[in-house]
Amino acid sequence: MDLEQAAATLASVSSAVGQVVRDSNQTIRLAVATIAADGHLLLEDPPGSGKTTLAHALASALGLSFSRIQGTPDLMPGDVTGNVLPGPDHRMVFHPGPVFAQLVLADELNRTPPRTQAALLETMSERQVTVDGTPHPLPRPHHVIATQNPTESHGTFPLPDSQLDRFMVRLSVGHPGQREEMALVRMNLEGDLLHAVHPMVDADQLTAIQARVRTVAIPKLVLEYLTSITRATREHPDAVQGASPRGSVHLARLSQAWAVLQGRDVVLPEDVKDLAHVALTHRIVTNGAKAALIVDDALERTPAPR
């Protein structure tokens, strides 16, 4: 797939999702870029802000098989990955869980206990699950979109650092403006919002786009700039733990996808700067300071190449 075709296809996906998600175009484009970069997405917002609708709309516009896992305090790992159970002939048979879809929505993930959260780690890193010692490959492409309520909500289990680090991007959908909210209410009154979203691409085409994204050039000076920003978050006095090397990899891949959305075949320093917050902030552990301020400081202290 050539660059122009990939950019046009991703633009059509963003437009289709924008029909039902009345949010800033930037948030939708970032979500689409995350998928194009072969990454996983974490959405953090209060209930009722459109997180689940965004996940459903992305699956529909991308033409991917979809499953939804509703996080609850009693959800068990086997409810996510699947279980080995006796079959009709009394032989043990593996029954796949809801994670065996191309796009999996883990709704309110931080309401599930730590063991169940951990069941997604292998899924997100290796695109497989191991049950009773047997690995089972997941369908490709495979993406996890998880939502979580703010940490101050009742009945939540904070996601561990190792899990947060698997997400390429963390986004906040936020609340729409009044005009957008009025349009959203009207569309809901008229029928099912998601009926308006039609596939703009299929799984094979998405895989081709992801392969094209990986060919986007990242000049040496831009890569030095990118890794310097990540390293600066580790050296900040208010950071107990800065962004990981995986954060650098994810920021690089996301920058490649962002360049394709702009119709470019090369990553610019501006791409890295624009994406640093959504790719790095959730990986930083602080001593009380806001992680976003640490990324701000890292960007300010790191000169961009010209």
- DSSP-assigned letters across all residues of 24-40: -HHHHHHHHHHHHTT--
Per mean pLDDT, which range of 36-40, 74-78, 100-104 is the poorest?
74-78
Q: Is the peptide bond before 141 cis (omega within 30 degrees of 0)?
A: yes
Indicate if the pLDDT at residue 179 is higher than 80: no
Instruction: Give the whole-angstrom CA distance, residue 196 versus residue 19.
Output: 7
**Structure-model confidence comparison of residues 238 and 34, the more confident one:** 34
Domains and CATH numbers, the chain: 3-209 (3.40.50.300), 216-301 (1.10.8.80)
168 vs 230: CA distance, rounded Å: 14
* pLDDT interval class at 88 (50, 70, 90): confident
pLDDT digits (tens, 9 = 90+) for 152-176: 555 667 788 888 999 999 998 766 6
CA dist 26 to 14, 29, 109, 111, Å? 10, 5, 24, 28
pLDDT attached to residue 18: 86
